[in-house]
Structure 1
Amino acid sequence: MIASLRVEPAGFVMAFAARPGTVGTARRLAGVLLERWGFGDDVTGRAQLAVTELVTNVARHAAAPDCTLHLQPVRDGVRIAVADEDPRLPVVREPSWDSESGRGLFLLTHSVDAWGVEQRRTGKSVWVLVRPGPADAA
């Protein structure tokens, strides 16, 4: 269930509980907004992948599913951040060929132009930057 939606001058903010059913909703909303903001398929597709991965990680790994998705158009692309109250930081692992999980964040880091984690008073915010053109992951 979506707790709140806000469109602000600095972007879009959605607070919700990350559950399997809300991942697709967040992805679709991100796609609609990015298209309305004038981003092409190259940015929109990679941004939707990022939203999917970041929200799925909250649903799977965070102690509580409550999170906030923030989409912000910036001078050279779009910044996406997903904040949750779990203080544990994400770990990027290179998965083995036969592993059944652990690929998402690894693939995400190679699909975006920059990414990072900001620790907060309660929890963290994982952010990515997607620019037009091919990804040059940081």
Structure 2
Amino acid sequence: MRSATVLASGLLTVANAYTQPQANPTWGAITLPELTHPLTRGEDFKITWDPDFGGTVRPVDGLTVSLVLCRGNSNTCALDPGAIVEGVPAGQKEYTWHVPCDLPAGEQLTATGYGMLIIVDGSGEFQYSTQFSVLVGSTCPA
């Protein structure tokens, strides 16, 4: 029984391996996705960010970031337990994500319950995206 408990706690650690965000957003902006650029299930979407957004120059040499999906409106946003991706070089400023077919869809041009966080690995500095939509894709099975 003890080995099952240890195994289960180890799996929880792996599933939630990204650095937890600090209390307040302090990093550059996620520029896409946003309200007028929805994601479509079953398609690739280029997530972009600007570490220097807002005029603060942020060194990115040696830094990596994680991207984490956030479900719910901006007041009740719940982070997914696993990251979309971890360890992306911050200076890359983009990551192409294949949007899963099982992600619940909403309506275009509405804040239908998704956001995203970019989190600096190790430090926990982060920033939220604006709300965005996920649309039904024609490449996903019905």
Fold shared, TM-score > 0.5 on shorter chain: no
TM-score, with normalisation over the residues of structure 2?
0.25
Which structure has more relative contact order (CA 8 Å, sep 6+)? It is 2
Which one has the bigger helix percentage? 1
